[in-house]
Amino acid sequence: MNRKDISHRLTTIEGDLVQLAGPRHGFHLVTLQRGKQVQTHRGVIDHDDLIGQQWGSIVKSHSGNPFYLLQPSLSDILKSTKRNTQIMYPKDIGFILVTMGITPGVRVIEAGSGSGAFTSALASMVREKGKVFSYEILEDKQKLAKENIHKLGLDAYVEFKQRDVRFGFDENDVDAIFLDLPNPYEYLYQVQTSLKNGGFFGTVLPSSNQVIKTLLELKRNPFAFMDVCEIMLRYYQAEPDRFRPTDRMVAHTGYLVFARKIIKEEQIINSEN
C-alpha cells in the first residue's frame, strides 16, 4: 500500500485511510480492511461498503444515517490522533512547518514523541528522502506514537528512539530540532551539539515563565534570531445570513519559540587570523 497514490485515484481501495464525516457531528478516521466494521454513534458501516466507492460520495450506516466518504487532510488526522497527552494544534503545526524550513528531504529531530501527532505532520512533509528522529523517555507513550504513525503508513520516514534527552541525540548536523518538552531550556547544549550551523530550533511552551527561562538559555548558547509568537485561531459561523465569530474559542495553546544555531563570534575572529 502506497499512500501517495491516494491523490491519483478517484475511488477507495483496501488500505486507504478514510474519513467518515457526518453532516454535523464530528468524524471517524478508518483504515479500510475487508470484513471489518466501523461503529459510530449513528450506526454501523461495513468496510466492504466503503471499498471501491468514489471519494466525496455519501454512504449510509445500517441505521440509515448518511456519512461523507472523504480523504483526511493533515489537520483532520491531527485532530483525530488517539492521544495520551495534550497534542499540538494544526494552527501551530502549520506555522512551525513553514517557519522551521520543514520541506521534503530534511532531517529533523523531535522530542518527545507524544502521541505521534506532530511526528506525523513532520513525516508527511519530509518524505520521500527526509527523516524524522523521534525521541521519547517513556516507553508507553512511544508505543502509541508508533501505532499512530503505522496507521498512517508513515513508518518509513520515522525513526523512534526511547531515551532521556539529557543524554543527547545520536544524529549530527540535522536541519531542525523541535522540543515539545516542559523544560527545553535544560537541553540546549544537546540541541546545539546535534543541530547543524544555521539549523532551526523550535519549542512550544504554555507559560511565560518557561519562555523567559528558554530565552535566557538561548542567549547563553550559540543561538540567534530568537522569535516568540502565539497564534490565535478564530472560527466563524459559516452562515451567509448571520456571519459572525463563534461564541467561544481556544484562547491559548502555547507560546512558540524559534531560534537558529549560529557560529559564535569568537570562532569567527579566530578564523580571520
Q: How far apart are CA 223 and CA 151, in angstroms?
A: 37
Q: Nearest distance from residue 143's CB to a copy of itself, in Å? A: 25
Stretch that binds a copy of itself, among 32-40, 50-58, 110-118, 143-151 (CB under 8 A): 50-58
Q: Which is nearer to a copy of itself, 84 or 197 (CB)?
A: 197
Q: Rule CB under 8 A: is residue 26 a binding residue for a copy of itself?
A: no
- Indicate which single residue of 163, 183, 213, 221 sits in contact with a copy of itself (rule: CB under 8 A): 213
- Indicate which single residue of 26, 41, 84, 104 sits in contact with a copy of itself (rule: CB under 8 A): 104
Q: Rule CB under 8 A: is residue 21 a binding residue for a copy of itself?
A: yes
Q: Are 246 and 235 in contact (CB under 8 A)?
A: yes
Q: Rule CB under 8 A: is residue 199 a binding residue for a copy of itself?
A: yes
Q: How far apart are CA 81 and CA 116, in angstroms?
A: 8
Stretch that binds a copy of itself, among 30-38, 66-74, 111-119, 163-171 (CB under 8 A): 66-74
- Indicate which single residue of 130, 133, 145, 149 sits in contact with a copy of itself (rule: CB under 8 A): 130
Residues contacting 233, CB < 8 A, separation 6+: 89, 91, 249, 250
Q: Rule CB under 8 A: is residue 251 a binding residue for a copy of itself?
A: yes
Q: How far apart are CA 144 and CA 124, in angstroms?
A: 18
Stretch that binds a copy of itself, among 36-44, 137-145, 163-171, 195-203 (CB under 8 A): 195-203
- Indicate which single residue of 29, 45, 78, 132 sits in contact with a copy of itself (rule: CB under 8 A): 78
Q: Rule CB under 8 A: is residue 193 a binding residue for a copy of itself?
A: no
Q: Are 204 and 258 in contact (CB under 8 A)?
A: no
Q: Which long-range contacts (CB under 8 A, 24 or more apart) does 71-76 make?
A: 71/6, 71/7, 71/16, 71/17, 71/18, 71/19, 72/17, 72/18, 72/19, 72/29, 74/120, 74/121, 74/124, 76/19, 76/27, 76/29
